[in-house]
Structure 1
Amino acid sequence: MQLFYHPEVSANDKEVRFSREESRHIVKVLRKKEGDSLQLTNGKGWIFETEITMADANNCSARILKAEKEPAPPYYLHLAVAPTKMNDRYEWFLEKATEIGVQEITPVICDHSERKVVKTERFKRVIQSALKQSLHARMPILNEPISFSEFMKKEMNGTKFIAHCEEDQPRKLLSGGIKKGVSTTILIGPEGDFSSEEIEIATRNGWEAVSLGNSRLRTETAGVVACHTVALINEQE
């Protein structure tokens, strides 16, 4: 199965027209023709079964035959992860977190962040590609970058964790704090970890300090481990 992404299509539509880029991919790369079937999602939980009515490399269109909405996942996970020095590492994290099943991502600029300026346009394309590859029907929200201090002012539902590496600070394993079916937000710092002041501010504001295990992980690896931990616990019978 190959899944296409079309954010504008709705359950009430009878026909869909693809962008020039998608049309070219459908007709030139996949060599699809009139009468062939395609499946697509709008990223809002809907999966559409369609049949190509015009196989034009510049303006492909299809008739919608069936629309089904997938049930929402049993949990909500928001990962607030500091940007990495190298963009490709953060893109890897975005790809894997989307595949595993994250609902919201916020790049947080911290005291020790080596990358202070983040452009999200390419990040959105990475997430879109991962959504299609993993056959998910819900596009994760990618928020604009925000400073740590501003992020602390935001209201968060459910449980809030800050994962850091300060061994002299009390921490518990993340897996021990996850509650099934409860919204979870996890803060993960940059390569140099959170500053002591940031850890203090977070814990003072109700964030619970956690560890992701005995290994010292890169930022992007920590994001994937945290994502998988929450997904695994919530999906257990």
Structure 2
Amino acid sequence: MNIFYEPDIKNTLKLSEEESRHAIKVLRLTAGDLLYVVDGKGGYFKTQVSNAHEKRCELRILEEFPEFGKRDFYIHIAIAPTKNLDRIEWMVEKCVEIGVDEISFLQSRYSERKEIKIARIEKIAIGAMKQSLKAFLPKLNEMVRFEQFLKSDDFSGVQKFIAHLEESERKLLQHEIKTKEKYCILIGPEGDFSKEEISQAIASGFNPVSLGESRLRTETAGIVACHTLNLVNQ
């Protein structure tokens, strides 16, 4: 099943030029053919091609499924991106496939990457959303300094975790999760969070946790955290 993305489908009743080209030139859809569209806000639509134009494929909505796949928990991954951009893009793709609601990018003391291109990350997230038959596109936040993130975000009613490698008392993430709630977990850079950052996070109410005995790469840790939070809530 081919899924298309159009954030304003209910008003435009047509696909973007890029999606139109894929539908008409690549898949060779014609007037009367069925196709499915998601808007990234939970809307899932069964539609029919009314005008098979390769630059503005017009549609007729046959059926709408609001809040398609909506979950009763919320996962926010806040991560310091890797120096190699391909690895963090791969992490975003896999987290979206598994199920994530929000991703923030952190600049911490030992970060090797100082900027991130959200537009490129969003394109990857859209592809993963369509591939995994989801209708919600996660919120993607611009990179901010670690200290700013701790102060600026609204953590009311959120279970907060920080995964780090410092020798200290840490319980396994899966043992600390209360099901069906909102979560935010901090994942450090390849050099880990500094001791000062760990102390700041704990002082801000973040619970130190372990993701297991293995020492994980940053992007692997993000995926493991995302999968663990999803699995415990199944």
Alignment partner, residue 219 of structure 1: 218
Alignment partner, residue 110 of structure 1: 108
Counterparts of 1:1-237 in structure 2 under 5 Å? 1-10=1-10, 13=11, 16-69=13-66, 70-153=68-151, 154-157=153-156, 158-166=158-166, 168-235=167-234
Q: Which runs of 5+ in 2 are unaligned?
A: none
The CA deviation at 1:9 is 2.0
2:160 aligned partner, one-letter code: K
Question: Separation in 2 of the partners of 1:81 and 1:117?
Answer: 13
1:231 aligned partner, one-letter code: N
Counterpart secondary structure, 2:190: coil
Counterpart secondary structure, 1:50: strand
**Quick one: percent identity of the two aligned structures?**
48
Question: Separation in 2 of the partners of 1:24 and 1:71?
Answer: 28
Please list the CA deviations of residues 170-202 of structure 1 after superposition, one character each: whole Å capped at 9, or x if unmatched. 111000111111111000000000001100111
Which is worse superposed, 30-39 or 71-80? 71-80
The CA deviation at 1:155 is 2.7
2:129 aligned partner, one-letter code: L
Counterpart secondary structure, 2:72: coil
Question: Separation in 2 of the partners of 1:102 and 1:174?
Answer: 16
Counterpart secondary structure, 1:210: strand
Please list the CA deviations of residues 148-172 of structure 1 after superposition, one character each: whole Å capped at 9, or x if unmatched. 0101102313210000011x22111
Counterpart secondary structure, 1:105: strand
1:8 aligned partner, one-letter code: D
The CA deviation at 1:71 is 5.0
Please list the CA deviations of residues 91-122 of structure 1 after superposition, one character each: whole Å capped at 9, or x if unmatched. 00000000011000000111000001222110
Question: Separation in 2 of the partners of 1:24 and 1:211?
Answer: 46
2:164 aligned partner, one-letter code: H
Question: Separation in 2 of the partners of 1:142 and 1:53?
Answer: 33
2:134 aligned partner, one-letter code: H
TM-score by length of 2: 0.96
Counterpart secondary structure, 1:124: helix
Note if contact 2:69-2:134 (Cα within 8 Å) is conserved in structure 1: no
Question: Separation in 2 of the partners of 1:59 and 1:176?
Answer: 51
Number of residues paired by the alignment?
231
Counterpart secondary structure, 1:186: strand
Counterpart secondary structure, 1:143: strand
2:150 aligned partner, one-letter code: M
C-alpha RMSD over aligned residues: 1.0
Task: Please list every run of at least 4 consecutive aligned residues from structure 1 whose deviation after the TM superposition is greater than 4 angstroms.
Answer: none
